[in-house]
Amino acid sequence: MNTSTSTKTSTATQAAEDPQSHANVDVNDKAAIERWAKAIGTTDEALMNAVKSVGTRIDKIKDFLGAGGAGKQSGG
């Protein structure tokens, strides 16, 4: 595995786990969208719908998804 890719994945995962994270999703980078979607447990489409509603900050996206704005993609 590419060390750069691994580092980016770890960063996305850490930021996704931080409820106060001000990290931003790079919506121009398909790989970044996929990493962030995986890190927060949603689909690329749901992530992009959240971005359209609340912007690219991961804490805002997580709040939106958690409030049922676009729906997390977990069973239940």
Q: Which of 59, 62, 68, 28 is nearest to 47 (CA)?
A: 62
pTM: 0.69
- Whether residue 68 is predicted with pLDDT greater than 90 in this model: the reply is no
SS3 content of the chain, % helix, strand, coil (to 5): 60, 5, 35
State residue 74's pLDDT score: 43
State residue 19's pLDDT score: 64
Helix (H) or strand (E) holding 45: helix 44-54
Locus of tokens 């447990």: 41
12-67: pLDDT as tens digits: 777 777 666 778 999 999 999 999 999 999 999 999 999 999 999 999 999 999 97
CB atoms within 10 A of CB 61: 30
Domain boundaries defined on the chain: 3-66
